[in-house]
Structure 1
């Protein structure tokens, strides 16, 4: 299985209500709509379906989302068997996504599909996102954490930045290596900050942090 080459921590679909919860029209997907989003996410990321499966997806789409302007959070499948089949198909899509999660991360499905860092500190490789999350759970957001957890990204103009899915936190740089060096320097600073606020156990994992990720050009 080929892992994703571009990723971000957090939700990958719109949030939805769970089975049995009151619907929130206009704010959250219905359970059927959320299941359909999971199937759609996997298709966008490269999951291939048979002709019969594609036809079934189109039938679900016609019932749940015939137009892009249709209000979310109110539409469910009329046939309970079709709803169950959609939920099962969503679980198959989630398993496909899980097999392609980057090393040190996992896809989970609750009220949305999330990519989360694994937070086992004894693992052979520990992600910076995991360290940042654990520090935050202890009540500390540190100045170096955003840049330390960044990826190297190339702009359409050919310049290199250190950033995440939302923002560029440093750059531009003429080369990918210089952008990566900025991230490495931030990681060293993060270990110092972790130690200063009493999280020496987190700082001690530094030698096992995953390499700086350089994303392929868009």
Structure 2
């Protein structure tokens, strides 16, 4: 089993609701279908029979890319239950691959959240920032991943923005994140959160 190499905190699917908001949120069946689809995108393999069933659900819920979401449900209740059961299995598969210090949960979307257990073997920087609930200028860079751009330069940032770079090497970008983590420890102590600062030796390695 391989954990995810890159991730972001927050929703990984479009949000669903009952009965749904046309064009904006999914119906419950559409949300369950998205859970199954997300796991497939991230590498979950299905049998030929399971793949056929996914195609049948797709034909009923989303036969074209332009079909409006938020209005479609499966006509047969047993078929809808099968989709729900399949989505639960897909969510369990995702949960096994959550990064250390995080968990996947299903609310009105599939969300990745940091675990807030300060006694855990691994404490995510995102968890520390969330629990601190204070102004921490170093937080964004301290929680960053390192990635290589198409031009060959290296950056530290999140799924949307770069907070440091360009750097010539991955090591240089990782160093920038480590320096931000040191500043974050100082800022936590200044905010009176020595308990959070004390978890620094259990923060996970910088994702690269």
- Where on the TM-score scale, by shorter chain, does this alignment land: which range? over 0.9
In the alignment, what sits opposite 1:164? 158
Q: Could you tell me which of 75, 79, 82 is aligned with 1:82?
A: 79
In the alignment, what sits opposite 2:35? 38
CA distance in 2 between partners of 1:40 and 1:166 (Å)? 22
Kept in 1, the 8 Å contact 2:102–2:112? The answer is: yes
Kept in 1, the 8 Å contact 2:188–2:197? The answer is: yes
Q: Which secondary structure state, in structure 1, belongs to the residue aligned with residue 166 of structure 2?
A: strand
In the alignment, what sits opposite 1:129? 126
In the alignment, what sits opposite 2:178? 184
Answer with 5-14 or 29-38: which moved more: 5-14
CA distance in 2 between partners of 1:164 and 1:117 (Å)? 15
Deviation for aligned residue 1:124: 1.7
1:207 and 2:201 aligned? yes
Deviation for aligned residue 1:213: 1.4
Alignment of 1:1-218 (within 5 A): 1-17=1-17, 21-136=18-133, 140-214=134-208
The count of corresponding residues between Structure 1 and Structure 2 is: 208
Kept in 2, the 8 Å contact 1:142–1:193? The answer is: yes
Deviation for aligned residue 1:22: 4.2
CA distance in 2 between partners of 1:80 and 1:124 (Å)? 43
CA distance in 1 between partners of 2:26 and 2:57 (Å)? 14
Kept in 2, the 8 Å contact 1:10–1:115? The answer is: yes
CA distance in 1 between partners of 2:135 and 2:61 (Å)? 41
CA distance in 2 between partners of 1:178 and 1:123 (Å)? 29
Using the size of structure 1 for normalisation, the TM-score is 0.93
Kept in 2, the 8 Å contact 1:159–1:172? The answer is: yes
5+ residue gaps in structure 1? none
5+ residue gaps in structure 2? none
1:8-40 Cα deviation digits (max 9, x unpaired): 1111000001xxx44322221000000000000
Deviation for aligned residue 1:75: 0.2
Kept in 2, the 8 Å contact 1:153–1:162? The answer is: yes
